């Protein structure tokens, strides 16, 4: 074997490391066999930053056309999948065999299909597209059966391909599923028996009505107006009407204290921190399903953070600003308004993640003002963050950063597009069929109206949480920085209550369940029916609600989520009363109720609830 060429270390003596400015390692005695040799320093060209700006501007404009989804990242993954599939002749033969078997299966079904005949393939339980009786008649039965078999074959083709990572398989499978759903027979007049029947019976009047609906929706979108029907749910008149006062305001939040409805209250106040990607009144909708009203009526003093809707001027607000101005300033205000009392803290979605960061920093610094912490559909470990991770990769985050760099924020409509794609059958294609082809408007409710009340996110904050939490998962491993120092979730000692929902596509319950690995405090976990929003807005008396609940005490052995689900008994009804009972168990005896604000402490009432920030568009 010939001698390895030696490298003169003097060539690289002027190279500086990225962390401290030390000289490059002398490699003359031990030439690198696997470690790459750094190239000599090459200063940027005079137009380097101009070229970078051109790239960012180009990507920003393209991102508006693609709803913020990076085509480069998707193409890269698809090419990788196809390359590995082409190098897997065994997988190809298996797919050919599966295609032949499905074709024979469909032909046999066609020969024996008749009234009462079982289908050769059943839709998934969540797939309601082919539920009507019209789909069981020829030729529509053959159409949807063929579609489902094709969908199943493509799932086989995009999964279990040697050399493709599980994460990339999920992306490819998701892309193919979206393409197939676009071509589903339920989306077209001639292949949907329900639409075809309505068109014949009404002489096409349903299509004319659908065109009117489409025209109105397009006009509203172009004018920046909210969807049809939302005018019946005005904030402060129809929703968010629980009485209270804004008792504190800074540039980022308004803090609302709600008026008591009982003579006596528990002494410990409750602070609720919603996610800043939503308006707070998801937890104060109509009086019958308001979590705020429920807590107040049970004798709790409730404070709510109402986030400001940022503009391009707020582009440099970061996660630390949200922690300090959003949570710590609120805690300081509550501690002054109701002195000498610890606080029950509640965080919803990313509000709970931020609350966990704040609580960890408080524990690190010896701040013991929290009495307990409750998570509602909250993740602190993002290794299994569900289908939302399909849109979060280095390519995707870089693409989003270019778009946000240009406008200073991520617009709510751009963010809503990604969530709609996750549930395209429910939120896109079913709407197309019902409203534009059948001509039937879906009745608006308070939850749907809230969902259409969109918010924005500042450039810096959104970039920091995507990278620090989703991409790098810094919080769960003790790398996340708050006030210049790392925080560790294991430092939290207050009792924890965590709620996951069965059909959550944003914060999958198995990911939420990871909080139960906490070694040093008691964790109560609840799994409730419903999705990310409807599972949380689950008032007593709501039909078809159930939950499972158990407590892991300090020193108890860990149980994985699947075994936990099998072993934990199911209970009918809402989880709210169980949580309220849990809060009471960590509260002291009741005291006379308090009116909102405390002028003597410097916190006079500024205005009535719901405040001004929630009204910002």
Residues marked active site are found at 349
- Residue 171's contacts (CB-CB under 8 Å, 6 or more residues apart) are 74, 77, 390
Tokens, residue 287? 């009086």
Element (H, E) at 91: helix 89-112
Residue with tokens 């209550």: 497
Q: Is 521 exposed, middle or buried (0-12, 13-18, 19+ CB in 10 A)?
A: middle
Tokens, residue 308? 């400001």
Distances in whole angstroms, Cα of residue 448 to Cα of each of 92, 226, 231: 45, 11, 12
Number of Cβ within 10 Å of residue 63's Cβ equals 22
DSSP type of residue 35: S
Q: Read out DSSP for 504-547?
A: -SSS-HHHHGGGGG-SSS-EEEEEESS-TTTTTS--TT-TT-EE
Number of Cβ within 10 Å of residue 611's Cβ equals 24
Distance CA 40, CA 137 (A): 73
- Residue 40's contacts (CB-CB under 8 Å, 6 or more residues apart) are 11, 12, 15
Positive or negative torsion for Cα 293, 294, 297, 303: negative
Distances in whole angstroms, Cα of residue 99 to Cα of each of 49, 92, 102, 376: 53, 11, 5, 44
Q: Is 553 exposed, middle or buried (0-12, 13-18, 19+ CB in 10 A)?
A: exposed
Element (H, E) at 271: strand 270-273
Nearest to 55 by CA among 396, 398, 463, 391: 398
Nearest to 400 by CA among 58, 60, 55, 49: 60
Tokens, residue 149? 């078999």
Distance CA 293, CA 243 (A): 9
Angle at 584 between CA 582 and CA 590, to 5 degrees: 175
Pairing of strands 270-273, 302-307: parallel
Nearest to 615 by CA among 246, 230, 222, 234: 234
Positive or negative torsion for Cα 604, 605, 606, 610: positive
Number of Cβ within 10 Å of residue 49's Cβ equals 10
Backbone region of residue 526 per phi and psi (left: phi > 0; alpha: psi in -120 to 50; beta: other values): beta
Three-state SS for 394-425 is: HHHHHHHHHHHHHHCEECHHHHHHHHHHHCHH
For residue 366, the number of C-alpha atoms closer than 13 Å in the C-beta half-sphere is 0
């Amino acid at each position: 074997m010939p001698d390895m060429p030696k490298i003169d270390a003097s060539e690289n003596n002027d190279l500086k490391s990225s962390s401290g400015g030390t000289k490059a390692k002398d490699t003359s005695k031990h030439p690198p066999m696997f470690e790459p040799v750094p190239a000599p320093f090459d200063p940027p060209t005079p137009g380097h930053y101009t070229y970078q700006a051109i790239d960012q501007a180009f990507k920003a404009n393209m991102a508006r056309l693609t709803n913020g989804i990076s085509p480069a990242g998707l193409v890269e993954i698809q090419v990788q999948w196809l390359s590995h599939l082409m190098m897997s002749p065994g997988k190809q033969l298996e797919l050919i065999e599966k295609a032949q078997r499905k074709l024979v299966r469909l032909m046999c079904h066609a020969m024996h299909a008749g009234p009462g005949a079982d289908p050769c393939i059943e839709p998934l339980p969540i797939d309601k597209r082919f539920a009507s009786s019209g789909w069981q008649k020829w030729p529509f039965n053959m159409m949807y059966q063929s579609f489902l078999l094709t969908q199943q074959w493509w799932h086989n083709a995009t999964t279990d391909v040697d050399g493709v990572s599980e994460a990339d398989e999920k992306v490819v499978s998701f892309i193919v599923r979206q393409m197939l759903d676009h071509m589903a027979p339920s989306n077209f007049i001639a292949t949907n028996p329900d639409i075809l029947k309505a068109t014949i019976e009404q002489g096409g009047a349903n299509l004319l009505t659908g065109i009117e609906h489409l025209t109105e929706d397009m006009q509203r979108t172009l004018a920046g107006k909210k969807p049809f029907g939302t005018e019946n749910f005005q904030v402060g008149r129809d929703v968010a009407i629980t009485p209270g006062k804004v008792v504190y305001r800074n540039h980022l939040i308004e803090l609302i204290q709600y008026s008591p409805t009982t003579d006596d209250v528990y002494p410990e106040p409750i602070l609720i921190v919603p996610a800043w990607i939503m308006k707070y009144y998801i937890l104060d909708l109509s009086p019958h399903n308001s979590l705020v009203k429920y807590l107040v009526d049970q004798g709790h003093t409730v404070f709510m953070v109402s986030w400001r809707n940022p503009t391009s001027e707020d582009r440099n607000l970061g996660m630390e600003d949200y922690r300090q101005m959003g949570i710590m300033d609120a805690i300081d205000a509550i501690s002054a308004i109701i002195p000498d009392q610890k606080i029950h803290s509640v965080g919803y979605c990313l509000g709970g993640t931020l609350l966990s960061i704040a609580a960890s920093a408080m524990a690190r610094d010896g701040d013991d003002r929290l009495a307990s912490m409750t998570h509602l559909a909250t993740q602190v470990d993002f290794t299994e963050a569900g289908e939302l991770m399909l849109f979060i990769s280095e390519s995707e985050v870089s693409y989003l950063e270019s778009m946000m760099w240009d406008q200073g924020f991520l617009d709510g409509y751009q963010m809503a597009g990604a969530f709609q794609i996750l549930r395209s059958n429910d939120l896109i294609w079913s709407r197309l069929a019902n409203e534009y082809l059948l001509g039937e408007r879906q009745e608006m409710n308070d939850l749907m109206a809230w969902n259409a009340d969109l918010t924005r996110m500042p450039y810096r904050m959104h970039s920091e949480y995507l990278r620090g939490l989703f991409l790098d998962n810094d919080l769960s491993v003790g790398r996340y920085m708050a006030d210049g120092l790392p925080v560790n979730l294991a430092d939290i000692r207050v009792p924890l209550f965590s709620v996951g929902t069965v059909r959550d596509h944003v914060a999958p319950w198995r990911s939420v369940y990871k909080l139960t690995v906490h070694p040093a405090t008691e964790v109560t976990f609840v799994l409730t029916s419903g999705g990310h929003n409807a599972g949380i807005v689950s008032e007593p008396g709501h039909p078809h609600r159930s939950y499972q609940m158990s407590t892991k005490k300090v020193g108890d052995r860990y149980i994985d989520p699947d075994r936990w689900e099998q072993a934990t008994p199911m209970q009918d009804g809402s989880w709210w009363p169980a949580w309220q009972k849990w809060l009471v168990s960590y509260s002291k005896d009741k005291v006379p109720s308090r009116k909102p604000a405390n002028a003597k402490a410097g916190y006079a009432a500024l205005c009535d609830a719901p405040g001004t920030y929630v009204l910002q568009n």
